[in-house]
A and B are shown apart, each in its own frame.
Chain A
Amino acid sequence: MNNRVINWFKFASPASFYPVAGKLVPLFWILAAVFGLAGLWISLFVAPTDAVQGDGYRIIFVHVAASWMSMFIYVVMAAWAAVGLIFNARLSAMMAQALAPTGLIMAFLSLWTGAFWGKPMWGTWWIWDARLTSELILLFLYVGFIALQASIDDPRRADKAGAIVALVGVVNVPIIYFSVIWWNTLHQGASVSLSKSPKMATTMLWGMLLMALCFWMYSIAVALQRARAIMLEREAHTDWAKQLAQVGA
């Protein structure tokens, strides 16, 4: 038992995690491609045309996956940040830093595809619906985290300051979400209901799940790749990084 614990902590060092991440990245890229191709095939060719929304509904296959990822990545990022803060571990903070841009892109993608979907379906690019608003605020939280990390030169301080922001953000996310819901129900009468989803065909559900898996794999691959770059950048003065440059790996 004790042995295993030690083995896990071994990968908390950038020198030993760097090659492991290098091996994992292509694996996750391949998985992302496989799930993505299968998901796109189902969502574009197999899934039936929706009776009410026509073919426009197919945006759902990107939109839902992006929304899920944007929320999930923030929680994972905060968890890594907490681990980094508690154990004073460099790698955890690097992982948090590596995840943030992907989360930001997902939140942006979710809002963007949502607007494209909203225009033909509800006749508007944007409504101040609770979900849309809280997704927008999530985007702001990502921007705050990235901006703070980018503006502090000392990487250790940037890590810790970013960790506090991520943790304060994650505590606030439920508060913000519920406040927005209450605000929304107070201010809006009967408008578009997003929460009542019609029954979904099984093929549609499969397409959505496969696309979600594809986004998962893509996020992991990109985050690991970015973490590798961050590791090299920060550990450039160390022996293992210099050896890497000589070998040319």
Chain B
Amino acid sequence: MNAIYSIVRRDLLLAMRRLSEVLALLFFFVIVTSLFPLGIGPEPAMLRKIAPGILWVAALLATMLGLQRMFAVDHADGTLEQMALSPTPLVLLVTGKIAAHWLTCGLSLVLLAPVLGIQFDLDRSALGVLMLALLLGTPLLSLIGSIGAALTLGVRGGGVLLSLLVLPLFIPTLIFGAGAVQAQIEGGSPSGHLSLLAALLVLAGFFAPWATTAALRIALE
């Protein structure tokens, strides 16, 4: 537990020292979502209808852009190898890194989303569900994405490859996440979708760090 905490603390500290990277990611999220009304038109009814999907797809893309940096810097300066050699199980350290990635990238998306939701004329209850769905969904994206990030470590054309590998696996998260908000807007209950998101989160929380660890060991061979 101590090891996870110290990794999270270290990664957060590093992220704070290079704040521009995190901010660039958040502005990417803002810009992408702002492009859609410009392309589609400003009718509030239409915007309300497309809002959940667009906000979620933008969150997916923003998370994916952040994934490339999850292990790359540590791999480049050799820190990752030291982590693999340390007496602490690598899977704990990996869990810490995933948690730190979510805290820098996912959590800020969650906090930013309601502001963007207002642009799309969502009401308060829908904004609440959007935040809750993102709160459950973004850690899931970080977990699944970490597998792809570890696999594409130091590989030619890693960025594009990462999106090829990870985006199809993000589809269930997208469906249930956007579905929850959609259900709330249409007057249904979002609890089914949120439960499924939570179930996927538990599943991925257990398995993904192991898969990521295996992938990292392959990359470090």
Interface residues in chain A, defined as those with a beta carbon under 8 Å from any beta carbon in chain B: 137, 140-141, 143-144, 147-148, 151-153, 156-157, 160-161, 164-165, 167-169, 171-172, 175-176, 179-180, 182-183, 186
Contact = CB atoms under 8 A, between A and B. Distances in A.
A186 B152 contact: no
Contacts of B152: 148
14 contacts: A140-B164, A143-B164, A148-B151, A148-B152, A151-B155, A151-B161, A160-B218, A164-B151, A164-B211, A168-B147, A169-B168, A171-B207, A182-B175, A182-B179
Given A148-B165, A164-B218, A165-B151, A186 B179 contact: yes
Contacts of A175: 172, 200
B171 A144 contact: no
B201 to A, nearest CB: 12
A178 to B, nearest CB: 8
B157 interface: yes
Interface string B33-67: 00000000000000000000000000000000000
Given A156-B221, A157-B221, A164-B151, 19 more contacts: A140-B164, A140-B167, A141-B168, A147-B164, A148-B151, A148-B152, A148-B164, A151-B155, A152-B155, A153-B156, A157-B219, A164-B214, A168-B147, A168-B169, A175-B200, A176-B172, A179-B171, A183-B179, A186-B179
B215 interface: yes
Interface of B: 147, 151-152, 155-157, 161, 164-165, 167-169, 171-172, 175-176, 179, 182-183, 196, 200, 207, 211, 214-215, 218-219, 221
Dominant secondary structure of chain A at its interface with chain B: helix
A180 B167 CA distance: 15
